[in-house]
Amino acid sequence: MSRPVNRQWLLARRPEGLVSSSDFRLVESPAPEPADGEALVRNLYLSVDPTQRGWMAGDTYLPAVKIGEVMRSFAVGEVTASRHPAFKPGQLVQGLFGWQDWAVARPGTSSSPTPVPSGVPVETAMSALGLTGITAYFGLLDVGRPKPGETVVVSGAAGATGSAAAQIAKISGCRVIGIAGGPEKCAYLTGELGLDGAVDYRGGNVGKALRELCPSGIDVFFDNVGGPVLDLVLGQLALRGRIVLCGGIAHYNDALPARGPANYLALVMKRGRMEGFIVLDYLPRAGEAVTALSGWLRDGRLKDRVDVVHGLENAPAALLRVFEGKNQGKQLVRLAAPSP
Ligand SMILES: NC(=O)c1ccc[n+]([C@@H]2O[C@H](COP(=O)([O-])OP(=O)(O)OC[C@H]3O[C@@H](n4cnc5c(N)ncnc54)[C@H](OP(=O)(O)O)[C@@H]3O)[C@@H](O)[C@H]2O)c1
Tens of pLDDT, residue by residue over 293-305, are: 999 999 999 999 9
Return the CATH number of 131-282+290-296, one of 3.40.50.170, 3.40.50.720, 1.10.3720.10, 1.10.357.10: 3.40.50.720
Å from CA of 225 to ligand 1 middle: 6
Distance 155 CA to ligand 1 centre (A): 8
Residue minimizing CA distance to atom 19 of ligand 1: 159
Residue whose Cα lies nearest atom 18 of ligand 1: it is 159
Residue 244 has pLDDT above 90, yes or no: yes
Distance 328 CA to ligand 1 centre (A): 11
Q: How far is the CA of 322 from the centre of ligand 1 (A)?
A: 7
Q: What percent of the chain has pLDDT over 70?
A: 100
As a CATH number, domain 5-127+305-334 is: 3.90.180.10
Residue spans of the domains in the chain: they are 5-127+305-334, 131-282+290-296
Residue 111 pLDDT greater than 80, yes or no: no
Kindly state the average pLDDT of the residues 213-218: 98
Grade residue 217 by pLDDT with cuts at 50, 70 and 90. Answer: very high
| pLDDT at residue 256, rounded to an integer | 87
| Residue that wins the pLDDT comparison between 258 and 150 | 150
- Using CB distances shorter than 6 Å, the residues near ligand 1 are 49-51, 132, 135, 156, 158-162, 180-181, 185, 224-225, 246-247, 249-250, 277-279, 322-323, 325, 327
Which residue's CA is the closest to the ligand 1 atom numbered 30? Answer: 250
Confidence of residue 1 (pLDDT cuts 50, 70, 90): low
Percent of the chain with pLDDT strictly greater than 90? 92
pLDDT reported for residue 43:
98
Q: Which of 51, 137, 155, 224 is the pocket-test mutation for ligand 1 (most atoms within 8 Å of CB)?
A: 224
pLDDT tier at 23, thresholds 50, 70, 90: very high
291 Cα to the center of ligand 1, angstroms: 24
Choose which residue among 142, 277, 322 to substitute to test ligand 1 binding: the one with the highest number of ligand atoms within 8 A of its C-beta.
Answer: 322
Residue 34 confidence class, pLDDT cut points 50, 70, 90: very high
pLDDT of the residue at 107 = 85
pTM of the model: 0.97
pLDDT tier at 243, thresholds 50, 70, 90: very high
Which tens digits make up the pLDDT trace of 40-90? 999 999 999 999 999 999 999 999 999 999 999 999 999 999 999 999 999
Q: Which residues pair with 245 in a beta bridge?
A: 223, 276
* One-letter-per-residue 3-state SS of the chain: CCCCEEEEEEECCCCCCCCCHHHEEEEEEECCCCCCCCEEEEEEEEECCCHHHHHHHCCCCCCCCCCCCECCCCEEEEEEEECCCCCCCCCEEEECCCCECEEEECCCCCCCCEECCCCCCHHHHCCCCCHHHHHHHHHHHHHHCCCCCCEEEEECCCCHHHHHHHHHHHHCCCEEEEEECCHHHHHHHHCCCCCCEEEECCCCCHHHHHHHHCCCCEEEEEECCCCHHHHHHHCCEEEEEEEEECCCHHHCCCCCCCCCCCCCCHHHHCCCEEEECCHHHHHHHHHHHHHHHHHHHHCCCCCCCEEEEECHHHHHHHHHHHHHCCCCCEEEEECCCCCC
Question: How many Å lie between the centroid of ligand 1 and the Cα of residue 327?
Answer: 10
Residue 234 has pLDDT above 90, yes or no: yes
Q: List CB contacts of 125: < 8 A, sequence separation 6 or more.
A: 76, 94, 116, 117
- Return the pLDDT at 235: 97
Q: Compute, in angstroms, the gap from residue 258 CA to the centroid of ligand 1.
A: 16
pLDDT value of position 125: 96
Q: Are 222 and 153 in contact (CB under 8 A)?
A: yes
Give the per-residue pLDDT at 95: 95
Mean pLDDT of the chain: 96
- pLDDT band, very low/low/confident/very high, at 186 (cuts 50, 70, 90): very high
The string of pLDDT tens digits covering residues 125-146 is 999 999 999 999 999 999 999 9
Query: By CB neighbour count within 10 A (0-12 exposed, 13-18 middle, 19+ buried), where does 212 fall?
Result: exposed
Work out the average pLDDT over 306-321: 98
For atom 32 of ligand 1, which residue has the closest CA? 250
